[in-house]
């Protein structure tokens, strides 16, 4: 992986940890996530006229699939945070996703990995999983929390592959990103109206500030990742993005003043080693 791609993906990881931290402190997570999706679409629409259109015949199936998967991911993420601590749900969801991506990439996409790449994926994924199950928590993780956390991981792995294949098929990563976030906003609008059964303006008024910040950070993280998928192996980009948990621990300890246990620091160290070995 080239140095500039490596640095860009690390920035994407930092932005991802940032918007999840915003979601953590939000009182109404559904409204925050809905506002996030609207902000992304609002940023995307004015840019469309200045971007070459994708190759529609090859792109639209991937766009539809990616939009559905991103909406499902957000729904499961909200539920995971409702049933588990952030320090459990986020590592479980993010940590198992690259393992799924790596297996699928090797089995169906013909991706070849060096021994060092395999080690880096194992270290990053193992580190975030240990962070979730090895440290003490205010409340034990339960079956429902595990279901939503692992479901989030499955959606993450699925949309990662769909995003990567769609961006390559479209001929324009930027065009794919812009149209996908619009589709995601449509999906979240349908879901929010179905669940809340009230005007979307209520959700916007409730969470427009955190949603605005989270939306900008999320779109930036996603845009960088999709671009990286077009110039580097999907599984390696997906694994490197999991260093976001390292940034999340630093944010929790330094900014949120959370009590970060020894287990979490050990896990963070494993992630850091994984990031270094991936760069080697």
Compute CA distances 124 → 24, 59, 185, whole Å.
22, 32, 31
Write down the pLDDT at residue 279: 59
d(CA 212, CA 42): 10
* Domain spans in the chain, listed from the N-terminal domain onward: 3-279
Specify the pTM: 0.80
Closest CA to 76 of 157, 7, 133, 137: 157
Q: How many CA atoms lie within 13 A of 11 on its CB side?
A: 15
Spatial neighbors of 104 by CB under 8 A, at least 6 apart, are 157, 161
d(CA 30, CA 213): 15
Tallying the residues shown for the chain, one arrives at 280
Which residue reads 């930027």 in tokens? 174
Contact 182, 71 (CB under 8 A): no
- Segments of the chain scoring below 70 in pLDDT: 26-27, 132, 134-141, 198-200, 203, 278-280
d(CA 100, CA 94): 11
DSSP state of 210: H
d(CA 199, CA 192): 9
d(CA 203, CA 187): 15
For residue 196 the two structure tokens come to 């809340």
Q: How far apart are the first and last CA of the chain?
A: 9
Contact 84, 151 (CB under 8 A): no
pLDDT digits (tens, 9 = 90+) for 131-187: 767 655 545 567 888 899 889 989 988 998 898 889 888 888 889 989 999 999 999
CA 118 to chain CA centroid, nearest Å: 21
């Amino acid at each position: 992986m080239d140095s500039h791609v490596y640095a860009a993906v690390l920035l994407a990881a930092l932005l991802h940890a940032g918007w999840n931290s915003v979601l953590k402190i939000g009182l109404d997570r559904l409204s925050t996530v809905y506002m996030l999706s609207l902000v992304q679409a609002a940023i995307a629409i004015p840019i469309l006229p200045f971007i070459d259109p994708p190759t529609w015949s090859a792109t639209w199936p991937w766009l539809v699939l990616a939009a559905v998967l991103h909406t499902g991911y957000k729904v499961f993420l909200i539920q995971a945070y409702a049933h588990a601590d952030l320090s459990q749900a986020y590592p479980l969801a993010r940590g198992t996703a690259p393992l799924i991506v790596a297996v699928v990439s090797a089995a169906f996409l013909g991706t070849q990995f060096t021994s060092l790449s395999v080690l880096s994926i194992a270290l990053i994924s193992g580190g975030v999983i240990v962070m979730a199950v090895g440290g003490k928590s205010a409340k034990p993780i339960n079956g429902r929390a595990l279901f939503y956390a692992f479901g989030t991981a499955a959606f993450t792995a699925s949309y990662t592959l769909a995003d990567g294949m769609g961006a390559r098929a479209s001929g324009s990563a930027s065009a794919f990103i812009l149209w996908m976030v619009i589709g995601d906003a449509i999906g979240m609008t349908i879901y929010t109206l179905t669940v809340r059964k009230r005007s979307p303006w209520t959700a916007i008024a409730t969470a427009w500030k955190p949603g605005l910040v989270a939306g900008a950070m999320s779109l930036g993280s996603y845009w960088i990742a999709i671009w990286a998928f077009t110039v580097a192996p999907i599984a390696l980009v997906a694994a490197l993005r999991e260093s976001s948990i390292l940034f999340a621990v630093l944010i929790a300890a330094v900014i949120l003043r959370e009590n970060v246990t020894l287990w979490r620091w050990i896990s963070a160290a494993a992630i850091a080693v994984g990031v270094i070995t991936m760069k080697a």
